[in-house]
């Protein structure tokens, strides 16, 4: 039977469809630290982001956020709503800023109890470290809190700063906790830094744009020392480039021509191969940063 639907009926069907999808596919985000056994003084920042649908966990982790060894790994796992047991394992590197080879990376494998429905949910316990070939590496502990708790702390800090009479309006804006935290959670590429991206595609697409206020930032972009974008003015309108990857080395170098009217020189970029990866260059005039594509 064919029923003609009004606009309102179509809207309600769409709204309830989205609602059902959100009910059955929940998103979660946790922040905290991991510690490696035998190196208790060396705490490493750790971010865990995942969705849970019908007991299946999929997402990613970021280790050593903003650090020289920052690494993003894909994860998979399970969640038992009855026993409240969450299990996940890191299984594939998306990118790393470390110089260590892929085969020597130690992956986190965790299992523990948690009530995901609680806004105060925490993950706290031991994890096993395994190489990609499943042999044992270094174990440790992790302590993570729900992002809702992070938001509350940031809100309190923002309120305290805004009430301060010792800080100017400009300083309050500059040291706004939410903006500082957002910049820390963004994948930033700094001067003389290299990010290795693991990819299986024969070609990639690069998208470049300005996520903030257009301030005249200009860059040069090189692929294996060949200039493919010269004196490019970064604007809000994304520039999309297709690049055929060479069989061996594929190094993309970003050079800051200037710092615009609001230093430093920043350009948002999205790299799309077999996975999508978003990052932002953060450079002074004359500085460079690079991305190396590694075929698995």
What is the domain partition of the chain in residue ranges? 24-148, 187-295
Query: Which CATH number is correct for 187-295, 1.25.40, 2.60.40, 1.20.120, 1.20.1630?
Result: 2.60.40
Q: Name residue, tokens 């300083």.
A: 171
Q: How far apart are CA 155 and CA 151, in angstroms?
A: 6
Same fold, 24-148 and 187-295: no
**pLDDT tens over the chain, length 296 residues:** 445 556 665 555 555 555 445 556 799 999 999 999 987 667 999 999 999 999 999 999 999 999 999 999 999 999 999 999 999 999 999 999 998 676 789 999 999 999 998 988 999 999 999 998 999 999 999 999 999 888 888 788 778 888 888 778 777 777 777 777 777 788 999 999 999 999 999 999 999 999 988 999 999 999 999 999 999 999 999 999 999 999 888 999 999 999 999 999 999 999 999 999 999 999 999 999 999 999 87
Q: Name residue, tokens 């400009």.
A: 170
- CATH top class, domain 24-148: mainly beta
Tokens of 207: 């998208």
The per-residue pLDDT of the chain, averaged, comes to: 89
**Which pTM value belongs to this model?**
0.85
How distant, in Å, are the alpha carbons of 141, 148, 158, 188, 191 from that of 287? 38, 37, 33, 14, 6
Describe the strand order of the beta sheet including 188-189 as a list of residue ranges: 188-189, 276-283, 265-272, 203-209, 239-244
| Residue 4 pLDDT | 56
| Dihedral of alpha carbons 145, 146, 150, 153, sign | negative
Residue 277: name the closest of 257, 294, 255, 259 by CA.
294
Instruction: Please write the tens of the pLDDT for every residue from 231-289.
Output: 999 999 999 999 999 988 899 999 999 999 999 999 999 999 999 999 999 999 999 99
């Amino acid at each position: 039977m064919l029923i003609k639907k009004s606009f309102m009926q179509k809207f309600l069907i769409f709204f309830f469809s989205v609602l059902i999808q959100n009910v059955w596919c929940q998103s979660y985000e946790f922040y905290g630290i991991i510690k490696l056994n035998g190196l208790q003084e060396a705490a490493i920042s750790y971010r865990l982001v995942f969705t849970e649908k019908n007991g299946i966990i999929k997402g990613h982790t970021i280790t050593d956020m903003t650090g020289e060894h920052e690494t993003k790994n894909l994860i998979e796992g399970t969640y038992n709503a009855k026993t409240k047991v969450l299990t996940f394992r890191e299984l594939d590197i998306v990118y790393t800023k470390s110089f260590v080879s892929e085969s020597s990376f130690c992956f986190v494998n965790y299992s523990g109890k948690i009530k995901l429905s609680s806004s105060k949910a925490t993950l706290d316990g031991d994890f096993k470290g395994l190489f990609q070939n499943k042999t044992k590496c270094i174990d440790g502990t992790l302590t993570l809190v729900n992002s809702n708790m992070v938001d509350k702390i940031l809100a309190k800090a923002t309120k305290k700063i805004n009430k301060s009479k010792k800080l100017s309006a400009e300083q309050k804006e500059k040291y706004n906790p939410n903006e500082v935290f957002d910049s820390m959670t963004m994948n930033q590429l700094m001067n003389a830094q290299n990010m290795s991206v693991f990819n299986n595609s024969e070609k990639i697409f690069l998208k470049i744009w300005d996520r903030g206020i257009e301030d005249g930032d200009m860059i040069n972009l090189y692929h294996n020392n060949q200039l493919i974008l010269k004196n490019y003015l970064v604007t809000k309108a994304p520039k999309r480039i297709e690049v055929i990857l060479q069989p061996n080395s594929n190094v993309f170098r970003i050079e800051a021509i200037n710092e615009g009217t609001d230093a430093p020189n920043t350009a948002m970029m999205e790299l799309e191969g077999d996975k999508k990866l978003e990052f932002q260059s953060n450079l002074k005039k004359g500085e460079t940063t690079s991305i190396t594509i590694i075929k698995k």
